[in-house]
């Protein structure tokens, strides 16, 4: 398969389209990524240039070609218990506080949103952590985790809940036994009770309104905003604030920062913020 050349004009057209539609900022350093991720699509569909492919995408009335493009370009690097200190803080500080706030209720209600959930490792990690907390404290709880992403492929993987053995390396053995079934080929499948805690849905984070009826006590959006420019980040934080309940929490990636001058969240722990 011969490598297709990506001209400056083609690069600018594709990067602007991805930015306008999804907020993803593809700088010059992403040129090789665009070529590597898209040229297989071009060859399979019979396009002879990136310009022809771009024209096909923007003229497709169904929008499916655009979704395929962003599916290929978006990065889905993730793993179970990534940046584990967040989950330790969530379990030791956040969950006890949420429980105390609802101590007069007959049943604790936990609502968490994983924004940019990729192939499901993060929301399933949260589901295990939450389940273990209430199991150990003998508390009855209704657990709901919304997991959203722009990538249909990633969402399908998450909903299937099947992971190869090497992906399970960071999952404690007792958790693997309790929450997954092991197949003959060595892969692991999330059990029904784990899957039932997580709802996977496609969502474009840069859209101005989200189809949510209520608020979330906790939002995890980690290692996602690094792909957005400052203006897009500020707008996104404003929307997160709108859907975080008073006193709720926002977790971001350790490589990310939050503009505190916005006055939307207060810093309380490395990469953890509380709604102002």
Residue 80 has pLDDT above 80, yes or no: yes
- Looking at the DSSP bridge assignments, the partners of residue 199 are 146
Q: Both tokens of residue 190?
A: 């999330």
Of 250, 260, 253, 275, the closest CA to residue 113 belongs to 250
Q: Confidence band (pLDDT; 50, 70, 90) for 262?
A: confident
Residue 270 has pLDDT above 90, yes or no: yes
Is 84-275 the same fold as 8-73? no
What pLDDT is stored for residue 47 in this prediction?
92
- Least trusted range by pLDDT, from 3-7, 121-125, 143-147, 174-178: 3-7
The pTM score is 0.91
Domain 8-73, CATH number (from 1.10.155.10, 3.40.1160.10, 3.90.180.10, 1.20.140.10): 1.10.155.10
How far is the C-alpha of 234 from the C-alpha of 224, rounded, in Å? 13
pLDDT tens figures, 89-134: 999 999 999 999 998 888 899 999 999 999 999 999 999 999 999 9
Per the rule left: phi > 0, alpha: psi between -120 and 50, beta: everything else, 105 is: beta
- Looking at the DSSP bridge assignments, the partners of residue 149 are 202
The topology (CATH level 3) of 84-275 is Rossmann fold (3.40.50)
Residue 235 has pLDDT above 60, yes or no: yes
Contact 18, 73 (CB under 8 A): yes
């Amino acid at each position: 398969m011969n490598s297709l050349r990506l001209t400056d004009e083609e690069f600018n057209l594709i990067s602007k389209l991805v930015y306008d539609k999804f907020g993803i900022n593809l700088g010059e350093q992403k040129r090789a990524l665009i070529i590597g991720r898209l040229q297989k699509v071009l060859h399979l569909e019979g396009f002879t240039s990136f310009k022809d492919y771009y024209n096909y995408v923007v003229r497709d009335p169904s929008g499916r070609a655009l979704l395929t493009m962003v599916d290929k370009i978006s990065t889905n690097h993730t793993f179970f218990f990534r940046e584990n200190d967040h989950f330790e803080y969530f379990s030791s500080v956040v969950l006890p506080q949420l429980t105390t706030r609802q101590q007069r209720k007959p049943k604790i209600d936990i609502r968490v949103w994983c924004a940019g959930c990729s192939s499901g490792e993060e929301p399933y990690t949260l589901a295990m952590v939450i389940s273990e907390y209430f199991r150990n404290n003998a508390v009855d709880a209704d657990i709901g985790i919304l997991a959203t992403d722009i990538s249909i492929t990633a969402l399908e993987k998450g909903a299937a809940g099947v992971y190869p053995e090497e992906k399970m390396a960071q999952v404690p053995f007792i958790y693997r036994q309790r929450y997954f079934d092991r197949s003959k080929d060595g892969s692991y499948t999330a059990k029904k009770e784990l899957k039932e805690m997580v709802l996977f849905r496609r969502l474009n984070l840069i859209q101005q309104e989200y189809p949510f009826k209520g608020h979330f006590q906790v939002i995890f959006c980690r290692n996602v905003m690094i792909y957005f420019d400052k203006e897009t980040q500020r707008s996104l934080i404003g929307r997160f604030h709108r859907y975080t309940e008073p006193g709720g929490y926002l977790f971001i990636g350790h490589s990310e920062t939050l503009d505190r001058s916005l006055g939307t969240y207060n810093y309380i722990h490395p990469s953890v913020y509380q709604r102002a």
